[in-house]
Structure 1
Amino acid sequence: MSTPHISSTPVLRTALVWGAIVTVVVAAVGGGIGFAMAGADGMFSALAGAAIAAVFMLLTAVSILVANRWFGDDLYVPIFFGVVLGGWLLKLVLFIVALMVLRGQPWIVPGIFFVSLVVSVVASLAIDAIAMLRSRTPYVDVQLPGEGASDGAVEDGPAKDS
């Protein structure tokens, strides 16, 4: 018996790959702009903002991919929502901890950190939307006539009046 195909897996993988690429670009451009505006502190602030956004994007996609491993199990739905909700709670705790740790750091330039974080989050959301729109994911998982027939015969559709 083969494992069932989950249509969201390619979308999440595409979003992860493009999200990583965009994170590197935002970190490089933001780091350069931050360095030009505030020196090394500005560069590190931009890198920290991009890194935090990347970690949160990664946690969401990875939690869904991990939860999908139970697809087909009788307890799939509760396991899926438990894993994803646990991932969101972990992100909330990590975000609060990160802000508490970074709040008083002398090397953080608040404006540059904020802009880098917001640009990274918006870019991540755009990547997710584009990946979903281009995914050609079916609305419903159905078996078309003739796909699963072992004898090669096509099943008859609704009766037609002649």
Structure 2
Amino acid sequence: MTESTPVTPRAVPSSVPVLRRTLAYGFAFAGAIALVGGILGLVVAGPTAAWSAVIGAVMSGLFLGITALSILIAVRYDIVAFFAIVLGAWLLKFIAFIVVALSLRDQSWINPTALFLALIAGVISSLVVDVVVVMKTRMPYISDPKN
């Protein structure tokens, strides 16, 4: 019999808990924006504005998720693959945003003001979430050790 080397579990990079918290808080904020935006849109401009605000909040949540998930996936690979995955996800997100924005632009069932305001609220909330999560996280000043 040959002696096998013990399998050691791979260390979780220190950025993984930060990104998971970012995803959780980001999706919670997107849900809150959908709820508040939907109610405000319904009260101010009717059901079209309510659905537009919900669509804007869902779009902001999805785009936040694409970035965070791409980084969560990419941290498992070397630096070249990391940048390829993250930049590819950003490119995908950019193209998807353009396609969705152009396809929704002239729809009669969309209130562009409500959609825009919900998207802006989603972008601002994702930036706030990123700042708060990173500020409250204790991370080492050096990178993760290599085994």
Q: Which structure has the bigger radius of gyration?
A: 1
Distance 2:12 2:88 in 1: 24
Note the alpha carbon deviations across 1:36-67, whole angstroms, 9 max, x for none. 11111010110011011011000000000011
Is structure 2 residue 6 aligned with structure 1 residue 6? no
Q: Which runs of 4+ in 1 moved over 6 A?
A: none
Percent of matched pairs sharing the same residue = 39
Is structure 2 residue 102 aligned with structure 1 residue 100? yes
Q: Which residue of 2 aligns with 1:124?
A: 126
> 2:34 touches 2:57 (CA, 8 Å); kept in 1?
yes
TM alignment of 1:15-94, pairs within 5 A: 15-70=22-77, 76-94=78-96
> 2:13 touches 2:144 (CA, 8 Å); kept in 1?
no
Which ranges of structure 1 fall in alignment gaps of 5 or more residues? 71-75, 144-162
What value does the CA root-mean-square deviation take over the aligned residues? Answer: 1.2
Using structure 1 for the length normalisation, give the TM-score: 0.82
CA drift at 1:32: 0.2
SS of corresponding position for 2:109: coil
Task: Give the AA of the match of 1:130.
Answer: V
Distance 1:82 1:134 in 2: 29
SS of corresponding position for 1:18: helix
Distance 2:143 2:117 in 1: 41
SS of corresponding position for 1:69: coil
Note the alpha carbon deviations across 1:78-102, whole angstroms, 9 max, x for none. 0000000000000011001001110
Which ranges of structure 2 fall in alignment gaps of 5 or more residues? 1-7
Using structure 2 for the length normalisation, give the TM-score: 0.90
Report the number of matched residues. 138
